[in-house]
Chain A
């Protein structure tokens, strides 16, 4: 099944997700599946009945009341969702992507990523969703969960689409980084782009040797690539170099470190996602 799955919602990212999906579909020759997930907001529309009394037939009455509320909200959400998908469909068509399927799903976004995305090559999502708060610099609450639970590479779209010419590949010598390199070679996502391989280490570090090998692999595969080595904090260096070379896309391995460590100090991946203003391609 050669398709990519793009998740859209009514946030500002939807258009950008469509554009990125169109670009990737073009690069890799995939069909596109557009998915919109209708997540039910818990308790937001619940009636404020604080009387604390339960009378005759309380259970049935309550069940019917809540079900009726949910039904009304769901109907509206469905209508909105279908419109959203139609809009996205038109946008993709305008960009020349013809093979598109749309799906509307209920339930949890992350579950949908696991279920729907299971048989696609790439997943495209926006950095933030409808409910996310821009001012705080917080990521969409679902992003990290989605990336962690997805089995395939996830493409995280930035606010707006820019044509992609320069790609930065962040390389930490770990297995997921090697995989990222292999992926990049295997998929033709880098065709007609310049790649920069970045490692965060000092000269003479054992990592440098590994990075050299990785660079050679890239060049052998016909990718125009150069190597940059720099000491410092991973997320800071990645942010700086991205700005310096004017990269349009960052490719990196996703969540390499243990979850325990991520709990305590936060993960590099999340930090980079937060700092970067460009799309990020996360490879597992």
Chain B
């Protein structure tokens, strides 16, 4: 799916091919990024400053080095929830070190071209991923909605009303921004008793500066941060590649997956050195960008730069934003991220895919780690697939005229999952002089099935029968690890043909 080669003019086109619309959509996204970056900082347990710097730096860097123009990357919920325990146990500096290391891991993944592994992430796993992500974002809002004043609920409801109802009136202004402004102004006028962003921690009052993470460079440190970095790297790439696929579909264009992996790594690596936390692509924000007309790299760049300018210049105002307004925006993001059609599909889709989807969600909600959820989902998909393929298997047999010989015809897929059925298909109690096992219409995929076939032969011989195997060569052609059907045009034909 990659473009054939890097071309400068294409890159220029990706930057400046859509400047007007990109500028507008970048502005809209920047407005939406501010509350998210603050909210995700709070999830991770760090100052809002950390998330805001991260969002600026990741967005700007990925605009240059990413593989999917028009995609928005910043500090995200998926990575923030992973880092909460690290921050709680070791503090911010370890988070920054983990961010740098996660970046290095992602670059390595990109260089190893592991983007291709996305093919094993089935649609059900992806749906589970986005649903779990939506639930995580929503759950992260719960602390702000428990043990609070009644006024908080009123303000959240009011903000949600503005967010959802304003677009029916006008599409010219970002409704989440209007909601935030209105609620902030009301709160300042009437002095409602609600918490605001200023209470949550330090906001940026200057541009970010270079800062080496203050951690001892020891093996012990590495052991502390490595599990977090790995999880962040994997989750970040999963979400980025899935979002890239989504934008590919929405805009009907192609992205470069491996470049995106390496780009995410570079962005995180640099972000760790300016006091920002790790992030990745954002499904909700990228959708907002495309919806607002953003298509090029310029939109991502604008989003990052404007975000920084806004928070540094308007820090006095940002400080005043009441938490209920932020919570409302995050609820909107979680609702927009959740795949509601997947609930309807539960009854139409095959049960196995529903089980995969629900397992991903359940595991993620239990562990707060999307990587583990995806791993479980991929494993389950694989097992279900093997199970289904194992059904494509059968054994027929006929007895000779004189009743002393029997020919077994084995057909279909022989591999570890069908070995048991294979063994059960033979009747060793029948006293025969000769047994012919015809496997010319079977595919022997692995050594489990070879072993099973050997064992069947052995058992018949013990019962006193002469055993002949027909068609073993063709049947076992599939054992070879590399089928390499693709480079021989007729190979697939021959492979699928009867009598193979």
B9 contacts partner chain A, Cβ-Cβ < 8 Å:
yes
Out of A48, A55, A110, A145, which one reaches B164, CB within 8 Å? A55
A62 interface hit (Cβ, 8 Å): yes
B246 near A50: Cβ-Cβ < 8 Å: no
Please give me the residue from chain A that is nearest to B170 by CB atom.
Answer: A51
Given contacts A42-B251, A59-B246, 13 further A-B pairs with CB under 8 A are A48-B24, A49-B292, A51-B170, A52-B31, A52-B32, A53-B166, A53-B336, A58-B291, A58-B336, A66-B290, A111-B4, A142-B9, A145-B9
Check if A163 is an interface residue, CB within 8 A of chain B. no
Given contacts A50-B25, A50-B172, A51-B166, contact A66 B292 (CB under 8 A): no
B9 CB to closest chain A CB (Å) equals 5
| B252 and A70 within 8 A (CB) | yes
Segment at the A interface, from B13-21, B354-362, B384-392? B13-21
Asked whether any CB of chain B lies closer than 8 Å to the CB of A265, the reply is no
B335 touches which of A40, A56, A60 (Cβ 8 Å) = A56
Q: Is A10 an interface residue (CB 8 A)?
A: no
Chain B nearest CB, measured from A38 CB (Å): 13
Which chain B residue shows the least CB distance to A46?
A: B293
- Give the distance to chain B from A39, nearest Cβ to Cβ, in Å: 11
Instruction: Fill in one digit per residue for B1-31: 1 if any A CB lies within 8 Å of its CB, else 0.
Output: 0001001111001000110011011001101
| Complex partner residue of B21 from A43, A52, A56, CB under 8 angstroms | A43
CB distance from B262 to the nearest CB of A (A): 22
- Please, which residues of chain B bring their CB within 8 A of the CB of A53? 163-164, 166-167, 174-176, 288, 332, 336
27 contacting pairs across A/B (C-beta < 8 A): A42-B17, A42-B251, A47-B293, A48-B171, A48-B172, A49-B171, A49-B292, A49-B293, A50-B24, A51-B170, A51-B171, A51-B173, A51-B291, A52-B29, A52-B176, A53-B163, A53-B167, A53-B288, A54-B287, A55-B164, A57-B340, A60-B341, A66-B251, A70-B252, A141-B9, A142-B9, A263-B8
- Residues B175 and A46 in contact, CB atoms below 8 Å apart: no
- Report B's interface with A, CB cutoff 8 A: 4, 7-10, 13, 17-18, 21-22, 24-25, 28-29, 31-32, 163-164, 166-167, 170-177, 246, 249-253, 284, 287-288, 290-296, 332-333, 335-337, 339-341
Do the beta carbons of B336 and A55 come within 8 Å of each other?
yes
Complex contacts, B170 vs chain A, CB 8 Å:
51
Name the distance in Å between B292's Cβ and chain A's nearest Cβ: 5
Docked-complex contact B171 and A54, CB < 8 angstroms: no
Is A54's CB under 8 angstroms from B295's CB? no
Q: Is there contact, CB below 8 Å, between B341 and A52? A: no
Given contacts A42-B18, A42-B296, contact A52 B28 (CB under 8 A): yes
A144 within 8 A of B: yes
Q: Is the CB of B295 within 8 A of A43?
A: yes
CA distance A13 to B214 in the complex (A): 63
B292 contacts which of A50, A142, A144 (Cβ < 8 Å)? A50
Give the residues in chain B near A66, CB-CB below 8 Å: 250-252, 290
Is B175 within 8 A of A51, CB to CB? Answer: yes
Total CB contacts across the A-B interface at under 8 A: 118
Does A63 sit at the interface, judged by CB under 8 A?
yes
Q: What's the least CB distance linking A22 to chain B, in Å? A: 30
Q: Are B249 and A63 in contact (CB under 8 A)?
A: yes
Which of A46, A50, A142, A263 sits near B173, CB closer than 8 Å?
A50
Q: Please tell me which one of the listed residues A46, A48, A142 contacts residue B295 in the complex, with CB atoms under 8 A apart.
A: A46
Chain A residues in 8 Å Cβ range of B29: 52
Which single residue of chain A is at the shortest CB-CB distance from B333?
A: A54
A56–B163 CA distance with the chains assembled, in angstroms: 13
In the docked arrangement, what's the CA distance between A56 and B342, Å?
12
Asked if residues A141 and B13 are in contact (CB atoms below 8 Å), the reply is yes
Check if A59 sits within 8 Å of B32, measured CB to CB: no
A31 → chain B closest CB, angstroms? 28
For A54, list chain B residues within 8 Å (CB).
284, 287-288, 291, 332-333, 335-337
**Are A50 and B9 closer than 8 Å at their CB atoms?**
no
Closest to A108 in B: B10
A143 closest partner in B (C-beta): B9
Residue numbers in B under 8 Å from A43 (CB-CB): 17-18, 21-22, 293-296
Distance from B283 Cβ to chain A, minimum over Cβ atoms (Å): 8
Distance A52 CA – B32 CA, assembled complex (angstroms): 7
Contact with B along A113-148 (1 / 0, CB 8 A): 010000000000000000000000000011011000
Q: Shortest beta-carbon distance, A47 to chain B, in Å?
A: 7
Interface size class of A (residues with CB under 8 A): 20 to 34
Q: Are A40 and B252 in contact (CB under 8 A)?
A: yes
Closest residue of chain B to A58, judged by CB?
A: B336
10 nearest A-B pairs in the assembled complex, by CB-CB distance: A54-B336, A52-B174, A51-B167, A43-B295, A46-B293, A43-B18, A52-B28, A49-B171, A51-B171, A58-B336
Partner of B250, one of A52, A56, A62, A144: A62
Q: Smallest CB–CB gap between A67 and chain B, Å?
A: 8
Collect the chain A residues with CB atoms within 8 Å of residue B18's CB: 42-44
Residues of A within 8 A of B251 (CB): 42, 66
What residue of chain A has the Cβ atom nearest to residue B17's Cβ?
A42
Partner of B293, one of A48, A57, A70, A111: A48
How near does chain A come to B363, taking the closest CB pair, in angstroms? Answer: 23
| B residues in contact with A141, CB < 8 Å | 9, 13
Task: Compute how far the CA of A50 lies from the CA of B175 in the bound complex, rounded to whole angstroms.
Answer: 8
Alpha-carbon distance A46/B28, docked complex (angstroms): 15
Enumerate chain B residues within 8 angstroms of A56, measured Cβ to Cβ. 335-336, 340
Known: A46-B293, A51-B166. A59 touches B339 (CB 8 A): yes
Q: Which residue of B lies closest to A66 (CB)?
A: B250
Q: Is the Cβ of A57 less than 8 Å from the Cβ of B176? A: no
**A42 neighbours in B (Cβ, 8 Å):** 17-18, 251, 253, 295-296
Question: Which residues in A have their C-beta under 8 angstroms from that of B284?
Answer: 54
A260 CB, min distance to chain B CBs, angstroms: 11
Q: Which residues does chain B contribute within 8 Å of A110, judged by CB atoms?
A: 7
Nearest residue (CB) in A for B299 is A43
Distance A254 CA – B483 CA, assembled complex (angstroms):
43
Q: Which chain A positions have C-beta within 8 A of B13?
A: 141
A-chain residues with CB within 8 Å of residue B22 when the two chains form the complex:
43
Binary per-residue interface labels of chain A (88-106) against chain B in the complex, 1 for a CB within 8 Å, 0 otherwise:
0000000000000000000
Q: Establish whether residues A55 and B292, one from each chain, have CB atoms under 8 Å apart when the complex forms.
A: no
Residues of A within 8 A of B167 (CB): 49, 51, 53
B residues less than 8 Å from A60 (CB atoms): 341
Q: Which residues of B contact A145 (CB under 8 A)?
A: 7, 9-10
Given contacts A60-B341, A63-B250, A141-B13, contact A49 B291 (CB under 8 A): yes
Q: Whole-angstrom distance between the alpha carbons of A63 and B17 in the complex?
A: 21
B333 surroundings in chain A (CB, below 8 A): 54
Bound together, the chains give a CA A147 to CA B4 distance in angstroms of: 15
* B337 contacts across to A, CB distance below 8 A: 54
Judge whether A55 and B335 touch: CB under 8 Å: yes
What A residues does B177 contact at CB under 8 A?
52
* Distance in angstroms between the alpha carbons of A62 and B294 in the assembled complex: 13
Interchain CB contact (< 8 A) of A46 among B9, B21, B166, B172: B21
Complex alpha-carbon distance, A75 and B379, angstroms = 43
A262 to chain B, nearest CB (A): 9
